[in-house]
Amino acid sequence: MRRRSFLGKIGGTFPYICLHPGKLAASQKLRVAAIGVGGKGGSDLQQLARHGDLVAACDISSKKINYALRDYPFAAKFSDYRKMISHMGDKIDVLGISSPDHTHAHAAQLAMNLGIHLFVQAPLAHTVWEVQQLVRGARKANICTQVGMQGWASDRFRQGVEYLQAGELGEIKEVHVWTNRPIWPQSPLITKRPDETHSVPEGLNWDCFIGPAESRPYHKIYQPYNWRGWRAFGSGALGDVGLHLLNLPVMGCGLSDVQKVNCLLQGPVNEETYQAWGIVKYEFTSPESEALIPLFWYEGRIGNLSKTATGKDNLPPAHLFLGRDRSANGCIIRGSRGSLYSPSLFGNKWEVHLGEKWLSPEELARPTSKLARNGRGDAGMKEELVRAIRSGKPGLALANFEAVSRVNELSMLGNISLVTGGTFDWNSDQCSSNRKDVNRLVSKPYRQGWEVRSV
């Protein structure tokens, strides 16, 4: 049965049939497609297309897709990714998804139902429940996956993970992670949908921008960039950069089992947009003792009421920096023997304070290398995925769906905490908490024709 013949069965009797078993021959060109080709999606498209033939692309903007495909005259153009996957599914080997967050899971599930390998920009999905469905679906479909976690491709990041995993900091006492984001308008600057409506620009498929979300009239306030601050479309600061910032401590310190989530500081809350500031405390089971390890997340500027980033710094206490300047984004991991400080968005720059001085990675004892080196940054993420596809070994793509799932889950749980306030217990295996208001936000409703199915 050809893929096109059974696309209509998605979510039905045969939702996961692998049509890409085994590995590809070295001489066999990958057939590449892309969803979302403006901005970051444009570079993702080019980096994937280097490894094969670009056969199709989709974007809601005809202007953006015409520009992105100027060097690919034979690639088919679409403004609705459902139609692209339906019409071209049997001609696609690997699909890049760089559209707004709320569409990631639906587009990815349609593709994996056909055995198409996937590169998805971070965050992997829009809700905790969606993350878990994609992990299960990718496993069942036996596809190779990679999430756009640029920091993972850095040799320095991988060295940092190995340093932490070797226990060089001693027993982990606490972790602090922070960002200056949001750098786009959200609450309290914007707290409701605009009363007025605008005419949909020529060449823009507004219905497909809405996608799985509840329908609403077009307004320029949402698109092309500021959707990040809207709960229906984006994931706020935690979804935009939280995965990148949380990744080094979570991966390096083995913080995979979160027990409690507590909102310590809550900005003004509304039904439509994310808050402009907040602090969340996560508590993890320690891999080494019975003690819980606290991780503190700080975002935005306290009291920021304008577009110009006013308000007070929302950063960890100054004494934790041990004389170093406090960066706009970064993390501190404090152990019984010393502290690691990364003043970087991606964890690809770091130094360690031992005794009375700061030491660079070159000055430290290097543990045995366990992680393959890449060193190619963003392009390297696509290279790893292609290597995994050609060899038939999904694990060669280090930022695969399963590997990224827990840090993505943390980001979504943080957003829930900033909305609901207070403390809740979390059970990842059951995808539920001890609070009904929290459980209501673990998943979301879908517009008809855009549903993500349970796996």
As a whole number, the mean pLDDT across the chain is: 92
Sign of CA dihedral 258, 369, 353, 291: positive
Convert the pLDDT of each residue in 150-160 to its tens digit: 888 899 999 99
Show the domains of the chain with their CATH numbers. 3-152+379-403 (3.40.50.720)
Cα distance between residue 174 and residue 294, in whole Å: 5
Whether 26 has a pLDDT exceeding 70, the answer reads: no
pLDDT tier for residue 23 given thresholds of 50, 70 and 90: low
Report residue 13's pLDDT band, with 50, 70 and 90 as the boundaries: very low
pLDDT at 18 over 60: no
Residue-level pLDDT at 17: 40
The pLDDT, as a whole number, for residue 153 is 85
Distance from C-alpha of 412 to C-alpha of 85, rounded to nearest angstrom: 28
Q: How many angstroms separate the CA atoms of 92 and 115, rounded?
A: 9
Asked if omega into 21 is within 30° of 0 (cis), the reply is no
The mean pLDDT of 83-91, rounded to a whole number, is: 97
For residues 432 and 31, what is the distance between their CA atoms, to the nearest angstrom? 39
pLDDT at 14: 33
Please enumerate, as own/partner, the contacts of 360-363 that have beta carbons within 8 Å and a separation of 24 or more.
361/156, 361/159, 361/160, 361/163
Q: What is the pLDDT confidence band of residue 287, given thresholds at 50, 70 and 90?
A: confident
The predicted pLDDT at position 426 comes to: 98
Which pLDDT score, from 0 to 100, does residue 138 have?
98
- Of all residues in the chain, the percent with pLDDT exceeding 90 is 84
Q: Is the pLDDT of residue 305 over 70?
A: yes
Least reliable range by pLDDT among 107-111, 286-290, 412-416: 286-290
Residue 348 confidence class, pLDDT cut points 50, 70, 90 = very high
Q: How confident is the model at residue 393 (pLDDT cuts 50, 70, 90)?
A: very high
How many whole angstroms from its chain centre is CA 126? 9
Res 8 pLDDT > 50: no
147-185 pLDDT tens trace: 999 888 899 999 999 999 999 999 999 999 999 999 888
**In this model, does residue 33 exceed pLDDT 50?**
yes
Note whether 345 and 329 are within 8 A (CB): yes
pLDDT at 75 over 90: yes
Which amino acid belongs to residue 177? V
Q: Which residues make Cβ contacts (< 8 Å) with residue 118, sequence separation at least 6?
A: 94, 95, 96, 97, 108, 111, 112, 138, 143, 144, 145, 146, 401
pLDDT in tens, 400-447: 999 999 999 999 999 999 999 999 999 999 999 999 999 999 999 999
> Of 314, 322, 327, nearest to 340 (Cα)?
322
Q: Per residue in 196-217, pLDDT tens?
A: 999 999 999 999 999 999 999 9
Q: What is the pLDDT of residue 309?
A: 64
